[in-house]
Each structure stands twice: as structure tokens, then as C-alpha cells.
Structure 1
Amino acid sequence: MPLHPRTAPAPALRSVLAALGSPTAVREARTPALRAATGPVRPELPLPVHVLDRISPLGGPARTRLTGWRFLLHAGAQAVAAADTRLTPDGWTFSHFFEGPYATATERALRQAEALPAPYQPRLLSVPELYMLTLWLHGDLAADPGEGTPRPTDLLVPLAPAPPGIAAHRPHRVADLLPVLTHRITPAPPPLLGSPA
């Protein structure tokens, strides 16, 4: 098995289990699939969620920060929704349930990553400026899942829907994809108004 997921913090998992056990939390969630699920709903495949805070146009390392843990919620054999947790001053707490394309795209990308020849630690990497979410396949299996930056040899798998011009569900080396993202995020210089007389 090439994927080596790390265990989520126990308080994060407990907060999701408590929310799933609360009829009020499930009923008020805007996730019809979760409300309609028959049988038990299980949180599985916990992934640390990192946000890309900075891409250096000069080729320096990208800066990321851990913002939470995401659990895919399974009813039967497939994911019907997801649950996010976040870190507060009092520790890990449940944030919200959601469904939509990123939940199913995450599950699809994880299945695809299982077929890769090299082992990876799976994470999620969000690029807010591009409304983009990727499966980040980190090559350091022993790394703390809450820390680190994308290494040039790590893989990023954009999840569908991906921004125009970036193929979803196709693995890209960080060294190849980050320059593309840098170009899209970096503002263009102001146009020259004319030449001096």
C-alpha cells in the first residue's frame, strides 16, 4: 500500500464522532446526503488540511500552515460527505459537515494514489487564491502531518473542479505545478503608458 496516512489527533476524531451522534448537528447540516444516509456513518481517511500561504516567485520554498483535519464520512462503501475540524485555543473541535465535488474527488484521488509505485503520506493542500484543492502526496513518511512544506519531488493531484487549464486528477510534481500557480497568483506588472519623449 503506497499511502501511509497518519492518525488524526484523538480530540479531532472525538469531535466528529460527537457531531455525528448529535441529531441536531446532523439535521442542521446542509448536507442532504448525510441526512438521508441509512445505517451508520463512519469517519474514515483522516487527512490534515494545509493552506498554501505563500508561493515565492524567486523560487524559495512555499509556506503552508495546518488549518484542520478532514474526515471522509462513509455510509456503506462510499463517501457521502465530509467533516472538518479546526484547532482552537482549547484544542481540536468540530467545524462543519459538507458534501459536494471535493468529497468525492478526494476519495477518487486517494484510490488513484494507491496505484502509484512510490509510498506517500497523503495530505490536502488548499490554494485559496485559485479556489483550488489538491491531494498532496508527501514523500517523507515519518514527517509530522501538521508541519512541513511541499518538497519539489512531492506530488500534487488537483481535485475536481480544478481551475481552468489545470488538469484534475493528474499528478504533478511540486517543482512543475508550483511555478504555474505562482504565475497565476502573482499580479502582473502595470502596463507601460508610453515611451518618454
Structure 2
Amino acid sequence: MPLLVPPAPAPALRTVLTALGSPTAVSEARTPSLRSAQGPAAPELPLPVHVLDRITPEGAGRTRLAGWRFLIRSGDRALAAAETRLTPDGWAFSHFFEGPYIASTELALRQADLMQQTYQPRLLSVPELYMLTLWLHADTTADGATGVPAPTDLLVPLAPAPPGIAAHRPHRVADLLPVLTTRLTPAPPLMGSPA
């Protein structure tokens, strides 16, 4: 089943196109592959980036939209990503970047595209664990900028994943959140040790 990618806000896309068209923005970017790209580069696959601020024992706490991420493709591969953020004046270009999450995101999207069920792809960041996941939301008609992970949604940890959590293995939210909760809960002090 194909993924149903939510549409990015038009102003967010415009800021990325403007940055790609700016020799200054591209030359000052810390992305060697984007600076050395042969041929035109174009944004594609806009994904809303949500941040999971808190995990409760009952499941997902609050999530907030942090921005939209676009993969920047030149030829047959993604070279970098562009991130936008919402400001009081509207959507603004934030930065270009590259690194392992670019290829990992592409791989996770290809794997998800082969699943039997249709999903709406999003990114979910868990800053406390330095973890980024592909969030496959089952409600494909939902506004991509809002919501919390439903227990039956899937989370696919992107590489590099935290130790003990397999990258690129889909987990139901109801199964993965208890593991993350355990990781985020401080261990009680050992008896006799200073507090």
C-alpha cells in the first residue's frame, strides 16, 4: 500500500525552495554533498517533525509540531534534508543538514511503502533518548501537524537507534512506549549509596 504523505504548508515549501535557489544559503550549509551536487536539487517527501516531550506510564504524553523536514534529492538519491520551523511571522527556513538519518529515513519509508496497510508518515523525535523514529499514523486523513501516537500506530526507530532498540524494526506504539518509559525512568539508588 502506498504511504499517504501529508501536504506541507505552502509557505514552508517556499522557504526551502528559496534557500535552495540561494547560492549563499547552499554554500554556507554544512552539507558537502549538497554543495557538490551535480545538477538541480529539489525538495521532496515533506514530513512533519513532532517532538515527544513527555512519556507517561499510560503512553504518549504531549507531542508538539517542531517543523517540517524535506529530503533534498539530486538525481536518484537524497543528498541532504532541509528543515523549516514555525515562527511568529510564519514558516521560516531553518537549516540544511546531512548525516545517517537521511539514508535511514529513505530506507524506513521504502520499507513502510511495502506494508499491507496504508499509513501517513511523520517523524517523531524523543530528545531525551536522542532517538528519531518514522511514525506511521494509521489515520491517513488526519492533519499531519497535530495529534499524538495512537496505540496501534507504528514507530520505526531510525539508525542510529539507542542501544538495545533495533533500528528499522516496526513497533506498535503500545509495545514500544513502555520500553521507552523504562529507559526514561531513573533507577532507584542502591541501598547504602549516597542519594
Please state which band the TM-score falls in when normalised by the shorter chain.
over 0.9
Equivalent residue, structure 2, for 1:168: 167
Q: Whole-Å Cα distance in 2 between the matches of residues 8 and 153 of structure 1?
A: 24
1:126-176 deviation line (CA, Å, top 9, x unaligned) = 011111100000001111111100011000000000011100011010011
Kindly state the Cα deviation for residue 187 of structure 1 after the two structures are TM-superposed: 1.3
Partners of 1:99 and 1:86 lie apart in 2 by: 17
User: How far apart are 1:188 and its partner, in Å?
Assistant: 1.6
The residue that corresponds to 2:41 in the other structure is: 41
| Residues 1:107 and 2:106 aligned together | yes
Using the TM superposition, give the Cα deviation of residue 192 of structure 1 relative to its aligned residue in structure 2, in angstroms: 3.0
Read off the aligned partner of 1:44 and give its amino acid letter. Answer: E
Q: Secondary structure, in 3 states, of the residue corresponding to 2:35?
A: helix
Distance 1:61 1:72 in 2: 27
Does the 8 Å CA contact 1:62/1:150 hold for their aligned counterparts? no
Equivalent-residue separation in structure 1 for 2:182 and 2:109 (angstroms): 27
SS, match of residue 18 in structure 1? helix
Ranges of 4+ aligned residues in structure 1 off by more than 4 Å: none
Number of the residue aligned with 1:56: 56
Instruction: Name the CA distance, whole Å, in 2 between partners of 1:14 and 1:60.
Output: 36
1:100-136 residue CA offsets vs partner (Å, 9 max, x unmatched)? 1001110110000001000100000001111110000
Q: Aligned residue for 1:83?
A: 82
CA distance in 1, matches of 2:106, 2:125: 16
Partner of 2:16: 16
Structure 2 match to 1:30: 30
> For residues 156 and 175 of structure 1, what CA distance do their matches in structure 2 show?
10
Are the counterparts in 1 of residues 59 and 177 from structure 2 also a CA contact under 8 Å? no
CA-CA distance at 1:48 after TM superposition:
0.0
| Shift, 1:63, TM fit | 1.6
Q: Indicate the residue corresponding to 2:192 in structure 1.
A: 193
Cα deviation code 1:50-76 (max 9, x no counterpart)? 00111002x144321100000000000
Report the 3-state secondary structure (helix = DSSP H, G, I; strand = E; otherwise coil) of the residue aligned with 1:2.
coil
Q: Name the amino acid aligned to 1:46.
A: P
Cα distance in 2 for partners of 1:61, 1:80 equals: 32
CA distance in 1, matches of 2:187, 2:139: 35
Identity of counterpart residues, as a percentage?
75
Task: Give the match for residue 154 of structure 2.
Answer: 155
| Residues in 1 aligned to 2:127 and 2:28: alpha-carbon distance in whole angstroms | 26
Equivalent residue letter for 2:188 = P
Q: Distance in 1 between matches of 2:60 and 2:68?
A: 23
TM-score, length-scaled by structure 1: 0.95
Q: Partner of 2:66: helix, strand, or coil?
A: strand
